[in-house]
Structure 1
Amino acid sequence: MPQITRHILTIPGTHRKVHYRRCGSGPALLMVHQSPRSSAEYEGLMRAWGEHFTCIAPDTPGFGQSDPLPDSAEIADFADAVCELLDALRIGRCAAYGFHSGGIILVTAIKRQPERFRCLAVGGYAIWTKAEMELFGERYLPEFHPSAYGEHLTWLWNRMLEQSWVFPWFDTREEARLSVAHADVDRVAQAVSEMLDAGNAYQAGYGAVLRAPRDIPPVDAPPASGNWPPCLITAYDGDPLQEHIDRLGDMPKGWQAQKVASPDEHQEVSLAFLKDYTDGGPCPELAQDEGEGWLALDNGQVHWKGKRGGRLVLHCPAREMAEPTGGDIAIDVPGHGQSADADDIAATVESAAAALSASDIVWPHAPKGDPDRLYPDTTPDRFGQYLQRAWQASRAEAFFEPWYDASAANAIPLDPARLDPHALHARALARIRAGDASRQWHQTLLSRNES
């Protein structure tokens, strides 16, 4: 099965970084995710479609690990950002796939630069009525900021969970119920994780999609380059956008829409369509930054930043890399931040150091305390309590060391900066991402110090 690799690319002439995933071989296929998600939602699909295409899935601006556009950005800016990425990657015409918001961005891109695309497959295309837009109003995209006691995490869990129960997520009328309701902990936790990555930047990207004009290319106005690139729009049973298939009206030559029974059927007909209309050559070598990326090691991918050949500076358990300085290199220790888990953290660190030609490794000391108590369980659970466990530990560690021993003997000087909600949020997010790897890394450091 094709493997997914991860990359960072700074758009030339800007300071805007784009994170993208790549998988497979063959003609290039651009895959644009829905909001407020990231390219991570396509990992399974990329492995399947990577047998036929070089799948390239960026995090759109402000989501995942990609830098945001200005808050004033509208849908045209997000569409142009897609084309800027294609330029930076040195990709000419390519096929494209987008689901929900991703489809809106790509249809807009086709209207603005049709010559960039061979074909497009879309999963669910929204044509909102005036009444529906009034229902959304300002309630659908509330501001999302850290709160002192973690209340924002309770809201986030329930918002993501109940989005499959009713649509929109806050409409609890019986007629708003969905037939695809679930309480799949892994699915909800993944959506929560991606929303935590985006933070309040989700408002700009998602808002631009909701405000986008609800039109497809006109039937009687082909582009100067000829016909519009062919497009297939499908929506499956249970998708709240399936009824919007009937709202599309007349479409240009080569455009078609249909309702399908299931997500699997949507993917099958989309892949067949993309293959039928893609006759391009192999994907060119893709550009990526030299000072940041992911090492594809035998036991997992390791996220790194810095200058190859410098000292490799490691962070403590339940933390993430700091920006390297003075020619150093930094990594997210395996299982932390944006690095994959590894069975043997020390061996993976050594492999990363060799791959980066590090001059030395700066190992941290293990934090004070019992590792079985320092790192509360952050395995996602049905009620989202793992989020609060991470938050409470992150808050308590600003008062005591170790944090779990709340006594005068373990009190530490209070620093208001450590209790700032944004600082708490960053520490809690690091704990959530690391999970059990925190305890494993702690034990590794203890073993190393003892030896």
Structure 2
Amino acid sequence: MAGQDRRSIRRGYAVCGDRLVHYRRAGEGPPVVLLHDSPRSSVLHLPLLREFSDEFSVYALDTPGYGQSDPLPADPAPAIDDFGDALAGAIGTLGLSGATVYAYHTSSKVALSCALRHTALIGHLVIDGISLPPEQVPEAFISAYMSPFDIDAEGAYIGRQWTKIRDLHRFFPWFRREVGARIPMDEPSLEAMHAYAMDLFMAGPNYSSAYAAAMRYRALEVLPHLETPTTFMARANDVLYGYLDTVERCLPPRATVQRLPADDAVWREQLRALFRQPVGRPGPVPAPVASDRKARRRYVGLDHGQVHLHESGGGAAAVLLLHDPPGSGLDVQDLAAALDGLRIVAPDLPGCAASDPLPAPAAADDFAHALLALMDAEGIHQFAILALGLSGPLALALVAAAGDRVTGLALDGMPVLDADSRGAIAGRYAPAILPARDGAHFLSTWHRLRDEQLQFPWFDGTQRAARRAEPDLDAWRLHHRLLATLMQPERYGDACRAALSCDPTDPAMRPAGPVLAFEVDGDPRYQGVAKWCRGLPQGRCEPRPVALSRTARILRDFFRSVA
């Protein structure tokens, strides 16, 4: 996503009980809520957010379990009414009662349930494509259609899911791969295919939850009881277009049907006209969700854009925990949890995962000033830093910028390299990621991230590059790093390049305060750090334990000693 788009489209979380609902928001004016189909996310509605933000306050929500929204409890499997109630909770939390709600495909049944169970909540419901089969969908069909999203340590799941994604756009049902099941439509563009795949991979095992619930929902039986003013619509090229005939046969008293041509311009014009219809609600909606600041995941607005962060723990001592780029703050949550008694702030570095990138080209000093602004925004004056991998040089730049605001610095996995080595690595460390129709960019990125655990630099297969630290090849952690990297394929390498442009031996980056550095004998990822650390005024080097609990104990003791 381009930087300009991310400045105009803001993201946030609504705190709904113990769940977080992620949303995107743009514009000012009467409120409009956009709901996506499955297995998509609010990313689907980026074009509509841009289209209608000139006139409306447009909110696009991630359904629970999709995008970045927390899932509903999985046992028992959630029904559509559970999703409808969750939607009502999100609308209420965001202060959007009385808004126009636009629902597309799967979400049409979620919105229908919400309107039936919370009759005064939605001002005007716009349903764009709804499936109304006369009989209950057989469980055998649902089971086949919702094939499980199972990952593995070898990466084979990537090809399996990518093939399914392609066939979802070629056959109905996707598993009936024959001429008679071919869908009369063009394949999506590479960009659209990548976005669809990202949404499915992000939903993971939850991808089928709302999907299956919608298939089981007997919408035809409850439709006549709908009291909310509703417009049922579909475009002529929509596979659900034919169900408008069914809608007309049981049309609720306050509902109308609109048949649209297969013309996106006409569709957008009609949506604008529908969104303009008065629904007896108040005027423009103010910026919502003060409770967002209490969320364990949240966005913080800075001059360059938004930074996404994870916060955990508590106590007076604050630690800024920087993940190894590429990746995200999610990568370090096990470590954060082990550092009990400390307030841990773990952002996605700018350009990584859900954090907006800095203006290009971004140097280490730019990252340092953004991170310092983040701590200012969080009201944290003094803090320690724990930097993993290549975030180490960025942490050194931050120490230089923050001065005595940083009480101590801990480093785990920062190599200290000469200029020639850093330059040679920088040129290859974060290669361009270009979407491929066969999904090869997913698999090649997965291997690149896995190789990081086994050799440094990751592209060097020689014996001298073999790492000595025990590799973390956990399939789910690798999966989450894959998604974090592919969320911004054009900018994921910014932090890596900025780090590799830094010389830790530069006197200007020499920390005067307490420094703890871990070392692993013979591991190229840790090369040079012991000698460098022992040359510092308050430097201390420790062998890195294999067990997380022992590592956390050393770190806790260090951070408490410098607090």
Contact 1:353 1:361 in 2 (8 A): no
Matched, 1:365 2:364: no
The one-letter amino acid paired with 2:105 is H
Q: How far off is 1:250 after superposition?
A: 2.1
Q: How far off is 1:315 after superposition?
A: 2.1
The one-letter amino acid paired with 2:253 is K
Q: How far off is 1:311 after superposition?
A: 4.5
Matched, 1:317 2:341: no
SS of the aligned residue for 1:79 comes to: helix
* Structure 1 residues 434 and 316: CA distance shift in structure 2, 3 A: farther
Partner of 2:518: none
Counting only pairs closer than 5 Å after superposition, residues 3-42 of structure 1 correspond to structure 2 as 3-11=8-16, 14-42=17-45
The one-letter amino acid paired with 2:52 is W
State the distance in 2 between where 1:264 and 1:170 align: 33
% of aligned pairs identical?
26
Partner of 1:61: 64
My pick for the range that moved more, 14-23 or 294-303, is 294-303
Partner of 1:327: 343
TM superposition score normalised by structure 2? 0.72
* Structure 1 residues 349 and 63: CA distance shift in structure 2, 3 A: farther
Matched, 1:178 2:183: yes
State the distance in 1 between where 2:317 and 2:503 align: 25
SS of the aligned residue for 2:234 comes to: strand
Partner of 1:446: 500
Matched, 1:168 2:184: no
Partner of 1:107: 112
The one-letter amino acid paired with 1:61 is P
Contact 1:178 1:238 in 2 (8 A): no
Matched, 1:286 2:288: yes
Deviations 1:230-261 (A, max 9, x none): 11111113211111212222211221223211
Counting only pairs closer than 5 Å after superposition, residues 144-159 of structure 1 correspond to structure 2 as 144-159=149-164
State the distance in 2 between where 1:438 and 1:137 align: 37
Contact 2:308 2:347 in 1 (8 A): yes
Matched, 1:88 2:93: yes
Matched, 1:382 2:381: no
State the distance in 2 between where 1:3 and 1:279 align: 28
Contact 1:18 1:65 in 2 (8 A): yes
Q: How far off is 1:413 after superposition?
A: 4.3
State the distance in 2 between where 1:111 and 1:334 align: 43
Contact 1:378 1:389 in 2 (8 A): no
The one-letter amino acid paired with 1:274 is F
Partner of 1:260: 260
State the distance in 1 between where 2:22 and 2:481 align: 22
State the distance in 2 between where 1:272 and 1:183 align: 28
Partner of 1:225: none
Pick from 393, 409, 424 the counterpart of residue 464 of structure 2.
Answer: 409
Q: How far off is 1:438 after superposition?
A: 4.0
Mark the runs of 5 or more structure 1 residues left unpaired by the alignment.
223-227
* Structure 1 residues 251 and 430: CA distance shift in structure 2, 3 A: same
Contact 2:318 2:384 in 1 (8 A): no
State the distance in 2 between where 1:118 and 1:238 align: 28
Q: How far off is 1:122 after superposition?
A: 1.3
SS of the aligned residue for 1:57 comes to: strand
SS of the aligned residue for 1:290 comes to: helix
Indicate the RMSD between aligned Cα atoms, in angstroms. Answer: 2.7
Q: How far off is 1:424 after superposition?
A: 2.5
Partner of 2:246: 247
Partner of 2:220: 215
State the distance in 1 between where 2:81 and 2:355 align: 33
State the distance in 2 between where 1:309 and 1:85 align: 34
Contact 1:372 1:439 in 2 (8 A): no
State the distance in 2 between where 1:376 and 1:116 align: 49
Contact 1:234 1:266 in 2 (8 A): no
SS of the aligned residue for 2:145 comes to: coil
The one-letter amino acid paired with 1:405 is D
TM superposition score normalised by structure 1? 0.89
Counting only pairs closer than 5 Å after superposition, residues 301-312 of structure 1 correspond to structure 2 as 301-306=306-311, 310-312=318-320
Q: How far off is 1:387 after superposition?
A: 0.7
> Number of paired residues?
442
The one-letter amino acid paired with 1:356 is M
Partner of 2:274: 273
Q: How far off is 1:275 after superposition?
A: 1.4
Counting only pairs closer than 5 Å after superposition, residues 180-195 of structure 1 correspond to structure 2 as 180-195=185-200
Bigger relative CO (Cα 8 Å, ≥ 6 apart): 1
Matched, 1:393 2:448: yes
* Structure 1 residues 434 and 415: CA distance shift in structure 2, 3 A: farther
